[in-house]
A and B are shown apart, each in its own frame.
Chain A
Amino acid sequence: MSGPMPFGPEELGPTEGSELDDSLEAIRSLETVAADANVRTGTAFTDRVMAALANEPSPAPAGFLLPLQRRGLLAGFGQSVRQAWASIGAGRPTFARAAALAYVLVVAIAGTSLVGAATFGAAGALGLLGPHESVAPSPATTTAPVTTPAPPAEPAPTLEPAESPEPSETAEPSDDHGGGGVEPSDDHSGGGAEPSDDHSGSDSGGDGSDDGSGGSGGGPRPSPTDEHSGSDDGSGSGSDGSGSGGGTDD
């Protein structure tokens, strides 16, 4: 054993007599304790210390990155994160702990993002997300029919044009055609006003007999030519019940 370092009174600096005596008494007690320690350590103690350090990351400030450098990005990644996590614990310099904590957080956030994106992508690939998307548009389509009834409402007002005198004027030429038509104007007006379905109703109910023309629904156009054609056809075209009128023409 190596004994304690020999103590010289000069180490105390300037001291008075009584203080020096008291100090020397204390020193003798301490040296007795120091001389008592006959200690030898061997490889067993070294092995024990190295075993305790087995899972410790490198003491360098960013020592947790060393596995990445040595083993490569993929092989060393797990060990790197493990060492960084271990470095967060107490017993290390603050800077090293902060760096390790930042590294772990970055890895955790990046990992969570990747897993989330991969899950989303996989779900999309498997079609798990499809129903959700189709459901969303469906309300839109259902609302569309709701709005579509509105246009039918328009025809209702279209009935009004039946009353409008304008078509009747156009119907005048048809009068020529109609020839014997007693009231062709009326008929035409009905037909001319609206080529639409309404028209047919009027035709059928009324004197389709007069002018198939009216019924012919050539009606869509108030022009006389059309009416003629319609009448010629005698058309049963009369989808609108015009058929009846046609018959009369012939």
Chain B
Amino acid sequence: MVHAVLEGDRDAFRILVDRESTAVVRACYRVLGDMHEAEDIAQEAFVSAYRSLASWRGDGPFGAWLSRIAVRLAIRQASRRRAVSWVRPLGAADADPAASIPAATRTQPEQVALRAESLSATRRALAGLDEPYREVVALRFFGERSLEEIAILTGRPLGTVKTHLRRGLLRLRDGLEPRGFA
């Protein structure tokens, strides 16, 4: 499929977009917490991947390579913007923070606000991590990539990736603790 794209077949890339778009947009949303922003970044990731397609070595799944691009762009976007937490109104579309709240308490505005703030704090803590911990943690939990895939993507040994993940999680917890969300 990628070879077909490299030979100028745009329809082949359309198939790739169809296949990977949900995972890419989801990863971006997990990092950013805003659907419109996530779609913008996901689109940017596809365009960037298309431009750099010739540099893809093919030593891992195409989706993993694409996820790395998307997560990087999303983290960069999250680092840029101000620390503003968005609270979606009840009844909003799919990614409603209140969806995971028990039905009995779902209608309580303070519960919705607290949950939204908790999610936002986690995202901020992740965006505040240093590299390479941030990338490893984001790819593992938001990009849904295995440690083996991350090792291939980043070109690091698996043991090093595990170490980065462990240290990244500890720093993330330290980042959440002062706010009382951990």
| Chain A residues near B (Cβ < 8 Å) | 1-2, 4-5, 7, 11-13, 15, 19, 22-23, 25-27, 29-41, 43, 45-46, 48-50, 52-53, 56, 58-61, 63, 66, 70, 91-93, 96
B166 and A33 form a contact (CB under 8 A): no
- Whether B137 is near chain A, meaning CB under 8 Å from some CB there, is yes
Q: How far is the CB of B114 from chain A (nearest CB, A)?
A: 12
A56 to B173, CA, bound (A): 43
B173 CB to closest chain A CB, in angstroms? Answer: 4
- Complex contacts, A50 vs chain B, CB 8 Å: 10, 13-14, 17
Q: Are B170 and A60 in contact (CB under 8 A)?
A: no
A residues within 8 A CB of B46? 49, 52-53
User: CA–CA, A11 to B151, complex, Å?
Assistant: 13
**5 new A-B contacts at CB < 8 Å, known A26-B173, A31-B141, A39-B22:** A29-B176, A35-B100, A45-B42, A53-B46, A59-B52
For A61, give its contact among B21, B54, B118 (CB under 8 Å).
Answer: B54
A4-B144, A37-B30, A93-B54 given as contacts; is B6 within 8 A of A30 (CB)? no
Question: Which 4 A-B residue pairs are closest in the complex by CB-CB distance?
Answer: A59-B53, A26-B173, A39-B26, A30-B141
Interface secondary structure of A, over-half rule: helix
Q: Which residue of chain A lies nearest to B24 when distances are taken between CB atoms in the complex?
A: A41
- Tell whether A33 pairs with B123 under 8 Å between CB atoms, given A5-B146, A13-B166, A49-B43: yes
| B50 contact from A26, A31, A53, Cβ within 8 A | A53
Which residue of chain B is the closest to A41 with respect to CB atoms? B21
B165–A53 CB distance below 8 A? no
B59, CB-defined interface residue at 8 Å? no
The answer to whether A33 and B162 touch across the interface, beta carbons within 8 angstroms, is no
Let me know if A26 and B169 touch, CB within 8 A.
yes
Q: Does B65 interact with chain A (Cβ within 8 Å)? A: no
List of A residues within 8 angstroms of B54 by Cβ:
59-61, 63, 93, 96
* Contact in complex: A32, B119 (CB < 8 Å): yes
Residues of A within 8 A of B170 (CB): 19, 22-23, 26
B15-34 residues at the A interface, CB under 8 angstroms? 17-18, 21-22, 25-26, 29-30, 33
User: For A53, what are the chain B residues with a Cβ–Cβ distance below 8 Å?
Assistant: 10, 13, 46-47, 50
Q: Among the listed B99, B142, B166, which residue makes an inter-chain contact with A23, where contact means beta carbons less than 8 Å apart? A: B166
Residues 128-180 (chain B) with a chain A CB within 8 angstroms: 137, 140-142, 144-147, 159, 162-163, 165-166, 169-170, 172-173, 176
Known contacts A38-B99, A53-B47; A33 and B182 CB within 8 A of each other:
no
One of B6, B125, B173 near A22 (C-beta < 8 A): B173
Closest to A43 in B: B18
B37 within 8 A of A: no
Which of A26, A34, A53 has its CB near the most chain B CB atoms (within 10 A)? A26
A23 touches B47 (CB 8 A): no
Question: What are 22 of the A-B contact pairs (CB < 8 Å)?
Answer: A4-B141, A12-B165, A22-B169, A22-B170, A25-B182, A27-B169, A29-B173, A33-B30, A33-B141, A33-B142, A38-B95, A39-B35, A39-B38, A39-B95, A46-B18, A50-B17, A58-B6, A59-B5, A59-B51, A59-B54, A60-B7, A93-B54
> Closest approach, in angstroms, between the C-beta of B74 and any C-beta of chain A?
12
